[in-house]
Copies of this chain bind each other. A is one copy, B any other.
Amino acid sequence: MEREELCDDAIELEQLVSQMKELMVEHVNDSRKPGALVLDYKSPKELKQVMDLELGYDGVGVVGLMPLIQDILKYSVNTWHPGFLDKLYAGTNPVGIISEMLISLLNANSHVYHVSPALTMIENTVSHSLAKLLGMGEKSGGITCPGGSFSNQLAMITARTCMFPEIKTKGYHAFGKKLLVFTSVAGHYSVEKTAIALGLGTDGVIKVPCDDQGRMRTDELERLIIKSFQRGELPFFINATAGTTVLGSFDPLREIGKIAKRYSLWFHVDGSWGGSLVFSEKHSHLIDGVNLADTLVLNPHKMLGAPLQCSFLLAKDKKIFSQSNSLKAEYLFHQEDDLGDGTVGCGRRPDAVKLFIGWKIYGIQGYQIRIEHAFKMVKYLTLIVKNNQRFKLVLDDPPSLQVCFWYLPIGINFDLENKKFRIMMTMITKEIHRKIMHRGKFLFDYSPLIIGDKELPCFFRIALNAPSINEKHLDDLVCEIEKMGEGILEWFEEFGDKINGDMKNGVNGNGCIDCANGHNIEKEVMNGFNR
């Protein structure tokens, strides 16, 4: 196309996208170079000094755009780096980038059909295809929400309205009974945040204990449901987790589904993380029973590499969303057209298009290959950790794509019964984590946990999701942790006890991140853990 033919916006767009392309290619390519950093860590205070964050009356004009972008890239985490093992999402891929470019070009709102015809059709189609793949039947389908927490929230709101429609008009004021929600102690904190939002309060959430593999105990679930009924309360919603945040454990969905049916409770599956296993023939058995769900959340932005956010809320009967959440009378419904009506929001980003495009390009087969590569990496890392005396696995056989373990200093016995040992392990984990983050070759997270009847001190959680990860990276990772572990016992003997003592007295005395949590494992576990 000749330049002269183009309108001003098109000319500007062409120039800026060309420049941006260079930066993007460089950013991605840099992430794979030997010695590349995943993050050049700076504290908030340091960052305030080096970044130009001033906002004023005069603009710098488009000539200032690329330097600004370069600055933001410089002080951000490079999620394309194979050392980014911190969260259940990883970097996206070129196809994901293009789908986001399409969304921004369209700048469309998928709330009403007539302003987003193609995107509405796509959302309906991909939701239905996904739900069918999960075995949820011909009437199944759903909508996207801006993240798993909002999907869980909409599920609980929809369930409540389906079961107790009078609450939609009259509120709880005229409702005599105390509503209860059940989730495991390892379930995501969004269930609790939703219960607060909905006015059930944290008291309205019953946390069911887990077994020693981090799975909800169904005997306990049933016992707690019966007890609630006996107290005159009204249990209505069970949240089962398919792939917990920390360990990646799978609640026994089929059994929980049966219990839900037995007591006429809503059966919701939070498959934000593990739901995507439906794309893998080899691993989909882990979510056996998922087809029994009344509602289910699945986030392709996690295991499938779609760009953030991409979260689906699916239902056996897709009509429940508009029927429950619309403010219109039923005879005014526009059938399947206007998706916004089925949500608690108004404007909506057409996130479904990201899975649609990914699925079209990669197919189920492509996603399967991605998932199987990740499991292979889990197997490899588990093996090298298991065979190394400096490490102790939390679960010998990780159920999903997280490998969790402690670093064990030389000459120390692994003894979870010993409180001092637990405190030491938490502090050592955090200190090694801090050092590794500051070096910037790897970025991963840590967490404490209650499992079975045991309180576990903080351990490393390595999330292996990105297709760019190979065995070499994992060898390097283990070396890096070992290296940072050298001398850690001496560090603990010199400073650890003191820091812990100070913590008890409420003094936050050093630069160690999040130290205050050390002695308060139970509280932290109850609060959940971000993904």
Q: Measured between C-beta atoms, what is the minimum distance from A269 to chain B in Å?
A: 17
Question: Which of A337-345, A390-398, A421-429, A450-458 contacts its partner?
Answer: A337-345
- Please report which residues of chain A, range 155-174, place their CB below 8 angstroms from some CB of chain B when the two chains form the complex: 157, 161, 167-173
CB-contact partner of A170 in B44, B56, B201, under 8 A: B201
| Protomer copies | 2
A388 in contact (CB, < 8 A): no
A380 contacts chain B at the CB level, 8 A cutoff:
no
Beta-carbon contact of B20 and A7 below 8 Å: no
Is the CB–CB distance between A47 and B530 below 8 Å? no
1/0 contact string of A139-153 vs chain B (CB within 8 Å): 000000011111001
Cross-chain contact B98 with A65 (CB below 8 angstroms): yes
Question: What is the size, in residues, of chain A's interface with B at 8 Å between Cβ atoms?
Answer: 168
Q: Chain B residues near A178 (CB, 8 Å)?
A: 171, 173
Contacting pair A357 B68 (CB below 8 A): yes
Tell me the chain A residues, 345-361 only, with Cβ under 8 Å from chain B. Answer: 345-349, 353, 356-357, 359-361
Chain B nearest CB from A333 CB (Å) reads 9
Q: Is A7 within 8 A of B29, CB to CB?
A: yes
Q: Is A129 an interface residue (CB 8 A)?
A: yes
Flag if A79 contacts B108 (CB, 8 Å).
yes
Shortest A521–chain B CB gap in Å is 12
Asked whether B72 lies within 8 Å of A119 as measured between CB atoms, the reply is yes
Judged by a CB distance under 8 angstroms, whether A89 is at the interface is yes
Instruction: Give A48-67 interface residues, CB cut-off 8 Å to B.
Output: 48, 51, 53, 55-62, 64-65
* Known A101-B20, A193-B344; contact A28-B48, beta-carbon cutoff 8 A: no
- Is A346 a contact of B147 with CB atoms below 8 Å? yes
Q: Does A327 contact B (CB under 8 A)?
A: yes
Give every chain B residue within 8 A of A89 (Cβ-Cβ): 107, 109, 347
User: Given A100-B100, A169-B203, A328-B527, is A21 in contact with B18 using a C-beta cutoff of 8 Å?
Assistant: yes
Nearest CB in chain B to that of A178: its residue: B173
Chain B residues lying within 8 Å of A65, measured Cβ to Cβ, are: 95, 98, 357, 361
4 extra interface residue pairs, beta carbon distance < 8 Å, beyond A17-B98, A24-B105, A96-B104:
A57-B365, A72-B353, A87-B115, A309-B347
The contact sample of 28 A-B pairs, CB cut-off 8 A, is A9-B29, A10-B25, A13-B25, A20-B101, A41-B114, A47-B118, A58-B365, A65-B95, A68-B361, A72-B122, A76-B108, A76-B118, A76-B119, A77-B106, A97-B101, A101-B104, A114-B437, A114-B443, A115-B443, A167-B201, A169-B203, A171-B179, A172-B199, A172-B200, A199-B200, A328-B524, A332-B514, A332-B516
